[in-house]
Protein backbone atom coordinates (compact mmCIF):
# COMPACT_ATOMS: atom_id res chain seq x y z
CA UNK A 1 0.00 0.00 0.00
CA UNK A 2 1.31 3.45 -0.95
CA UNK A 3 0.94 6.27 1.49
CA UNK A 4 0.07 9.75 0.33
CA UNK A 5 2.92 12.21 0.55
CA UNK A 6 2.50 15.13 2.96
CA UNK A 7 1.61 18.30 1.05
CA UNK A 8 3.89 21.16 2.09
CA UNK A 9 1.41 23.84 1.04
CA UNK A 10 -1.85 22.24 2.17
CA UNK A 11 -2.10 24.93 4.85
CA UNK A 12 -3.29 28.16 3.12
CA UNK A 13 -1.17 30.34 5.42
CA UNK A 14 2.01 28.48 4.48
CA UNK A 15 1.10 28.70 0.80
CA UNK A 16 0.34 32.42 1.10
CA UNK A 17 3.63 33.15 2.83
CA UNK A 18 5.53 31.29 0.10
CA UNK A 19 3.63 33.16 -2.64
CA UNK A 20 4.44 36.51 -1.01
CA UNK A 21 8.06 35.42 -0.69
CA UNK A 22 8.13 34.57 -4.40
CA UNK A 23 6.45 37.88 -5.27
CA UNK A 24 9.09 39.87 -3.37
CA UNK A 25 11.82 38.34 -5.56
CA UNK A 26 10.18 39.45 -8.81
CA UNK A 27 10.72 42.85 -10.32
CA UNK A 28 7.36 44.52 -10.76
CA UNK A 29 6.36 46.03 -14.08
CA UNK A 30 4.32 49.24 -14.19
CA UNK A 31 2.44 50.37 -11.08
CA UNK A 32 3.89 47.57 -8.96
CA UNK A 33 2.19 44.85 -11.00
CA UNK A 34 3.55 41.33 -10.79
CA UNK A 35 2.18 39.06 -13.48
CA UNK A 36 0.47 36.07 -11.89
CA UNK A 37 2.40 33.57 -14.02
CA UNK A 38 5.66 34.84 -12.51
CA UNK A 39 4.62 33.41 -9.14
CA UNK A 40 2.35 30.66 -10.47
CA UNK A 41 5.02 28.79 -12.46
CA UNK A 42 7.64 28.44 -9.70
CA UNK A 43 4.96 27.60 -7.13
CA UNK A 44 3.39 24.87 -9.25
CA UNK A 45 6.36 23.44 -11.12
CA UNK A 46 9.44 24.12 -9.00
CA UNK A 47 7.81 23.67 -5.59
CA UNK A 48 5.39 20.97 -6.86
CA UNK A 49 2.31 22.56 -5.30
CA UNK A 50 -1.18 22.02 -6.65
CA UNK A 51 -3.56 24.47 -8.30
CA UNK A 52 -5.92 24.34 -5.35
CA UNK A 53 -3.04 25.14 -2.98
CA UNK A 54 -2.13 28.10 -5.20
CA UNK A 55 -5.72 29.35 -5.17
CA UNK A 56 -6.05 28.96 -1.40
CA UNK A 57 -2.70 30.71 -0.86
CA UNK A 58 -3.65 33.66 -3.07
CA UNK A 59 -7.03 33.95 -1.33
CA UNK A 60 -5.40 33.89 2.11
CA UNK A 61 -2.78 36.49 1.11
CA UNK A 62 -5.50 38.79 -0.22
CA UNK A 63 -7.63 38.36 2.92
CA UNK A 64 -4.59 39.17 5.10
CA UNK A 65 -3.82 42.27 3.06
CA UNK A 66 -0.45 41.00 1.81
CA UNK A 67 -1.40 40.93 -1.88
CA UNK A 68 -3.90 42.71 -4.07
CA UNK A 69 -5.30 40.53 -6.86
CA UNK A 70 -6.57 42.36 -9.93
CA UNK A 71 -10.16 41.49 -10.85
CA UNK A 72 -8.96 39.98 -14.14
CA UNK A 73 -6.65 37.63 -12.24
CA UNK A 74 -3.69 38.53 -14.44
CA UNK A 75 -1.53 40.23 -11.86
CA UNK A 76 -1.01 40.89 -8.16
CA UNK A 77 0.55 43.74 -6.19
CA UNK A 78 2.37 43.58 -2.90
CA UNK A 79 0.60 45.74 -0.33
CA UNK A 80 2.36 47.75 2.35
CA UNK A 81 5.17 46.72 4.65
CA UNK A 82 3.22 43.81 6.14
CA UNK A 83 3.71 41.93 2.87
CA UNK A 84 7.46 42.12 3.26
CA UNK A 85 7.24 40.84 6.84
CA UNK A 86 4.84 38.00 6.01
CA UNK A 87 7.34 35.34 4.84
CA UNK A 88 9.55 35.71 7.95
CA UNK A 89 7.60 33.05 9.89
CA UNK A 90 8.75 29.50 9.08
Which pLDDT score is estimated for 7? 79
Q: Tell me: pLDDT of 86 over 60.
A: no
The arithmetic mean of pLDDT across residues 60-83, rounded, is 87
Distance, in Å, from the CA atom of 15 to the CA atom of 63, rounded to the nearest integer, reads 13
Which pTM does this prediction carry? 0.81
12-63 tens-digit pLDDT: 999 999 999 999 999 988 888 999 999 999 999 999 999 999 999 999 999 9
H-helix segments, 25-81:
36-41, 51-64
Q: 12-85 in CATH: which number?
A: 1.10.10
Give the Å distances, CA to CA, from 14 to 4, 28, 72, 82: 19, 23, 24, 15
Which pLDDT score is estimated for 17? 95
Structural domain spans, the chain:
12-85
Amino acid sequence: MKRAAKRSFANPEVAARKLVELATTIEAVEDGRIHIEKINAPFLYTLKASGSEFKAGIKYAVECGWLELHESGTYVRLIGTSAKAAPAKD
